[in-house]
Amino acid sequence: MASQDLFELLTGQTERHLVPCWSGHLVHAQVLPALEELRQAAMQAGFELAIASSYRSYQRQLSIWKAKAAGQRPLFADNGTALDSADLSEEQILERILRWSALPGTSRHHWGTDLDVYDAAAMPADYQLQLTPEECEGLFKAFHGWLDDCINSGDSHGFFRPFDLDRGGVAPEPWHLSYRPLADSFARSFDFDAFQRLMAQGEWPLLEWIKPRAQEIYQRYVAPEGATLC
């Protein structure tokens, strides 16, 4: 089981490891130099790398979950189309939230290693950012194509896409970048004991649907690719 300090970092319950970047978004102190390098590389390629979301606290993730479970924030189909929560059962609502939003305390955004990015230079002044697959194939297609090339060539300054493919858990998110030199270690540290410890706090909406499926949900939506329960 992770130490208390590491558990707090993994679950978004401390900001001790964070520093602000150029936009004011918080990132892990060890991520900032590489992020600045990626930003400069994007600039040289004609893009303005901007951050939609970086560090997110446990309480912020909890508020997102509560709002989605209550129908106060939209739920999405796999293709990014908005759904009406009134047409879904509680179990279906749980599945829709899990596909796009991590359970509070399990988000990679808690670590300060992960961020959602877009090309500010391509975005019209009156446009409302959506972070959808359609945007990545439309408005930001050139930017994401450039990121693809950087990642595939090993010239991405340590960043990769943890949700590049649909593996039956979290839906693909091309906009989500992660700093592998730190994030892989944090992902391995978030074991099933940590998941159970969070579940015992009893703060998750739809907990009555989560508990009977705890191992499955951990394996599909939390554990790093290829991990198995001990």
**What's phi and psi for 119, nearest 5 deg?**
-100, 105
What residues of the chain score a pLDDT lower than 70? 1-2, 224-230
Query: In angstroms, what CA-CA distances link 193 with 6, 118, 131, 198, 222?
Result: 13, 35, 32, 9, 12
The string of pLDDT tens digits covering residues 11-27 is: 999 999 999 999 999 99
The string of pLDDT tens digits covering residues 94-115 is: 999 999 999 999 999 999 999 9
Helices (H), the chain: 4-10, 32-44, 58-69, 90-100, 133-137, 141-153, 180-189, 192-199, 207-210, 214-221
Cα 147 to Cα 15: distance, rounded to the nearest angstrom: 28
- How high is the pLDDT of residue 44? 98
Structure-block tokens of residue 17: 């490891």
**Could you tell me which residues are beta bridge partners of residue 160?**
178
- How high is the pLDDT of residue 46? 98
Amino acid present at 36: E
The correct CATH number of 4-221 out of 3.30.1060.10, 3.30.1380.10, 3.30.565.10, 3.40.50.720 is: 3.30.1380.10
Contacts for 25 with CB less than 8 Å, ≥ 6 apart: 51, 53, 54, 55, 115
Look at residues 7, 9, 6 and name the one whose alpha carbon lies nearest to residue 111: 9
